[in-house]
Amino acid sequence: MPEITRLSGSREWIDLDFMERERTPEPAMALGIQSHLAGLSLSNTVDLLEALGVQRSRKAIHDWVQKADLQPDSGRSPNQVAVDETVIRINDEQFWLYAAADPATNDLLHVRLFSTTTTSLTEIFLRELRQKHDVETAEFLVDGAQHLQTALQRSGLRFQISRHGNRNAVERIFRELKRRTSSFSNCFSHVEPETAENWLQAFASWHNAPN
């Protein structure tokens, strides 16, 4: 798959300072984290590391991703922000993934997971987005969802209803994300919502990373 070609890219976006007592060499840990987020299952990532002489379990690799606490960088000033939401299933329960993307770069600006979708929760998402990025003068691109429009109005942010064009940036990201989560049946099984959200934020960090 095309994503795997990105394994030769920079890994500077992965901060391994949390691994003071970890016995695995840092380059192997970074490769394991990058490989899993790029598209390899935990089992295939284990096989990849074993081929390099590093034997670690699936749980160890899962824990590396969680402990790294990867999140999209803050401090952006986009001209437009595409905002959307999609359903994510965790242990057969339905959750809502909110995402904001910069259509100019196709980068994810912020992601959050909620148990439902309401205007109040959308306002929380927008408040967190504003704390991380300078979006006060940005134009928000949304679909026809009324709670998105209401939350933006209450927040004093300007928006445009758009079902095509630049708003498709976040739709493309959602398609890739759903391809990833549907590929591995164990991805969001037997985990807490906080663990799934941590993985989703790590995915966003990988998605934004330079090749």
Domain that holds residue 18: 2-68
Tens of pLDDT, residue by residue over 84-122, are 888 888 888 889 999 999 989 989 999 999 999 999 999
Q: Is the pLDDT of residue 22 over 80?
A: no
Q: How many domains does the chain have?
A: 2
| pLDDT at residue 136 greater than cutoff 90 | yes
Residue 166 confidence (pLDDT): 65
E-only strand ranges, 21-163: 80-90, 93-102, 107-114, 139-142, 159-161
In a domain, 75, yes or no: no
Let me know whether 129 and 101 are in one domain. Answer: yes
> Sign of the CA dihedral 88, 92, 95, 96?
positive
118 phi and psi angles, rounded to 5 deg: -140, 170
Instruction: Tell me, yes or no, whether 53 and 123 share the same domain.
Output: no
Question: The CATH number of the domain where 85 resides is what?
Answer: 3.30.420.10
Q: Helices (DSSP H) in 69-157: which residue ranges? A: 119-132, 146-154
Of 141 and 23, more confident: 141
Residues 150 and 121 reside in one and the same domain: yes
Q: By the 8 A CB rule, do 77 and 133 touch?
A: yes
Written as one letter, the residue type at 120 is: S
Do residue 96 and residue 191 come from a single domain?
yes
**Rounded mean pLDDT of the chain?**
84
Amino acid 185: pLDDT: 43
Q: Which letter, b or e, does each residue of 118-130 get, where b requires 16 or more Cβ atoms within 10 Å of its Cβ?
A: ebebbbebbeebe
Residue 74 lies in a domain: no
Report the distance separating Cα 106 and Cα 208, nearest Å. Answer: 8
